[in-house]
A and B are shown apart, each in its own frame.
Chain A
């Protein structure tokens, strides 16, 4: 019996004097947006106890990685947070590069920042859009779906050739450079598609009384509790803790940009929405500055240990052919050791713990998915609240089953 239930029983306050009802939500339920299962013990419409359960999308990422080469792991990382897969690619290769001691080129760093920030924007758009659908505001979903589609069609597809499973980064660089006209297109989409979309949704929601009453004070958490439970990212910042690895442990070239870290006060659903909205605007600022500063030069390090030789050379001379063969069959040779590398992904700290015993493949890879502690905190956010609020909270913490289950 939970504390709430005990208290209510004692005070004769149970709405229904019978036993609490158990309601199963998921694993395949429209409002979970993924294969999550929540078991709620209900007294009337009040949640007495909530038990999250998951693992339905477990794909053995870590076991498969232990049997792959370093480069072959990159496609697996796409499937972690499939809403912003470019960020997973960047996080993974940065961890391997830390182990190898490789410093990527300036242009590569800028392009990585650009793709990360674009991914952050579309990730937040999906989160807010889907969250709003769940609580009955369908229009916002379409207002955010159109710019997301434009980003996929005109930026990510021309860049990587693929929509979701991008696998764009490589150890020591990128798959290839930006295509012609990408920079102009990126600027155009940011200014003429994303900015108006954010303004539209902002106008519809931020001062909307129905929205505010529906979300304010719903699923709130104190900073102390949020830290103890391992929250990171927008959910921690909504609780008022200004932790952002882009500022606090600056990586790539984030220290060269002028941007702010928004924080909330209550840590409730409304604050999480507000923080995400502001983060999108800040990401746009970073993109504008990165496009202005984007340097020329190569995107890959000039080091045959890490990158495949040009295809024409593979056909023309034996050294390049052997190098190519070694890369594909044995993988990039990485020294022995262990590293933990963290980046600020859309949902919080995305950490990779990598153990290498030397050679072409990892000994162990552990992903620290930002959703994992967030989903763990769901009972804390929801117990004592109403069942209908559970849906609003679940959408606002943005659980992505792909990285939750791995």
Chain B
């Protein structure tokens, strides 16, 4: 799909950040940019504040576990612009041995719980998150249930409510 006409959002992003945008595609009509995790906050701030982009509404943040690939995890953000009515997907790979990425809460306050959920389910650590703890599972739960190597049939004892 290399010859496909690139969308304005991706062109603008690539123009601003150059090599920090690892790859882009617009498969199935969804504009997608894979970026380096080190600059995620800068890129997100640019996406929010640039007058031509204005991605003011962060819809979703989640992880994906590509077990067997390197780097193993991917953090995926879905953004929407109320003014421009367009969407973009931002992805950043994080390796298994150091699954850390900067938190984007300073950019969108609403990402707080989404990041907690990605931490809970995949063990991705969001640096500078003010309250990074489990959200759907309980504190005593061991492991991260949506990792592909967490067996579906594994059972853990449930415990009482926390103090």
Q: Report if A and B associate in a common complex.
A: yes
Question: Which single member of B60, B111, B113, B146 contacts A340 (CB below 8 Å)?
Answer: B60
Closest A residue, CB atoms, query B85: A248
- Residues on A with C-beta less than 8 A from B152 are 63-64, 67
- The residues of B that contact A228 with a CB separation of less than 8 Å are 56, 108-110
Chain B residues with CB under 8 A of A107 = none
Q: B78 near A337 (CB under 8 angstroms)?
A: no
With A229-B110, A353-B78 known as contacts, the answer to whether A339 contacts B30 (CB < 8 A) is: yes
Q: Which of B54-106 contact A (CB under 8 A)?
A: 56-60, 62, 64-65, 76, 78, 80, 82, 85, 87, 89
CB-based contact B56/A227 at 8 Å? yes
Question: Which residues of chain A from 354 to 393 have any CB-CB distance to chain B below 8 Å in the complex?
Answer: 355, 363-364, 366, 368, 372-373, 376-377
> Which residues of A from 62 to 84 have beta carbons under 8 Å from B?
62-64, 67
Residues of A in contact with B, size category = 35 or more
Question: B60–A351 contact, CB under 8 A?
Answer: yes
In the complex, A161 has a CB within 8 A of chain B: no
**Residue among B78, B110, B112, B138 making CB contact with A351, cutoff 8 Å:** B78
Q: Which residue from chain B places its CB closest to the CB of A60 in the assembled complex?
A: B145
Name the one of A227, A373, A377 contacting B82, with C-beta atoms under 8 angstroms.
A227
- A58 close to chain B: CB less than 8 A: yes
- Chain A residues with Cβ below 8 Å from B10 are none
Does A338 touch B at the CB level, under 8 Å?
A: yes
Contact of B112 among A231, A338, A342, A376 (CB under 8 A): A376
**Contacts A338-B30, A339-B30 given; does A230 touch B110 at CB 8 Å:** yes
| Residue on A nearest B76 in the bound complex, by CB | A353
Tell yes or no: A255 within 8 A of B by CB. Answer: no
Q: Give Cα A373–Cα B150 distance, bound, in whole angstroms.
A: 27
CA distance A67 to B153 in the complex (A): 11
Q: Judging by beta carbons under 8 Å apart, are A243 and B110 in contact? A: no
Tally chain B residues at the interface, Cβ within 8 Å: 37
Q: Which residue of A lies closest to B107 (CB)?
A: A228
Bound state CA distance, A228 and B57, in angstroms?
Answer: 6
Q: Which of A214-241 contact B (CB under 8 A)?
A: 227-232, 241
B135, CB-defined interface residue at 8 Å: yes
Instruction: Give which listed residue, B59, B82, B114, B145, contacts A342 with CB less than 8 A.
Output: B59
Closest residue on chain B to residue A376 by CB atoms = B113
With most chain A CB atoms within 10 A of its CB, the pick from B82, B112, B137 is B82
Given A60-B145, A227-B82, A230-B110, residue A353 in contact with residue B28 (CB < 8 A): no
How distant is A393 from chain B, measured CB to nearest CB, in Å? 17
CA distance A98 to B27 in the complex (A): 11
Closest chain B CB from A60 CB (angstroms): 7
Question: Residue B136 at the A interface, CB < 8 A?
Answer: yes
> Quick check: B28 and A366 within 8 Å, CB to CB?
no
Of A64, A243, A353, the residue contacting B60 (CB under 8 A) is: A353
Chain B residues with Cβ under 8 A from A63's Cβ? 145-146, 150, 152
The answer to whether the Cβ of A295 comes within 8 Å of any Cβ in the partner chain is no
- Pick the contact of B113: A98, A249, A372 (CB < 8 A): A372
CA of A248 to CA of B108 in the docked complex: distance in angstroms? Answer: 22
B28 in contact with A99 (CB, 8 Å): yes
Residues of chain B with a CB closer than 8 A to A55's CB: 135-138
Closest 10 CB pairs of A and B: A230-B110, A368-B60, A55-B136, A229-B110, A366-B62, A376-B113, A58-B136, A228-B109, A339-B28, A373-B110
15 A-B pairs with C-beta separation under 8 A: A55-B138, A63-B146, A64-B152, A99-B28, A228-B108, A230-B57, A230-B110, A243-B57, A340-B30, A351-B60, A353-B62, A363-B64, A364-B65, A373-B110, A406-B136
Known: A232-B57, A248-B85. 18 other contacts (CB 8 A): A54-B135, A54-B136, A55-B137, A55-B138, A62-B121, A228-B110, A229-B109, A230-B58, A231-B110, A338-B30, A340-B30, A353-B62, A353-B76, A355-B64, A366-B62, A368-B59, A376-B112, A376-B113
